[in-house]
Structure 1
Amino acid sequence: MLDNPIMVVGGTMKFSDLKSTDNPKEYSIGKAFVWLAMLKKKQVPIKWYKPNKAGTKVDFILPRKQEEWDESYDSLKKFLVSTNSMYGTDLELTKEEQPHDNDTQTP
């Protein structure tokens, strides 16, 4: 039996659908969908690596405080505004798409 339980606190994921060969508009839209999916799984992206032909790596944490999740969610909303302005898209978060954020762990 372990005296110190092991906890996963983060990691790196690779998204093969987010490639450098995508045009910038498609890449930004894909990034928004990946970001939202990660938040729904309680994964907070902390670093997006430069995309290459194999995909994009993203470092993430599992938030220990609600504020960590909230900050990432706010950053996603700003990213959507920027993407809409730059590419003429109309991406937005609707009520059903907003992840339920009350389940984050507290230390």
Structure 2
Amino acid sequence: MLLIVSPAKTLDYETPSITTKYTQPAYLTHSQALIQCAQQYSVSDISRIMAVSDKIARLNVQRFAEWHTPFTPENAKQAVLAFKGDVYSGLDAETLTASDFQFAQ
């Protein structure tokens, strides 16, 4: 299955994951380079570049600062379960079965 969705501004890292299965990002080296670049920006820079409010910019600056590898269930969450918003409410990822997650991987 090939699924392309837009990233969400709202993320849920508080609700426990319904599965223990996870994978590492395919382009982790590229992600690390982007995060290292983003970590150099101030809240006002992020607000301007991303066209978001100062509140969301502060949250992202915090996320950039806390980002580190390796990703584990203790410091990360599967994107399909972390992303929230209109696109993801239709997906209803919390109802996926173990075989659904296996197929989606």
Larger fraction in strand: 1
Larger fraction in helix: 2
Q: What is the TM-score with the length of structure 1 in the denominator?
A: 0.30
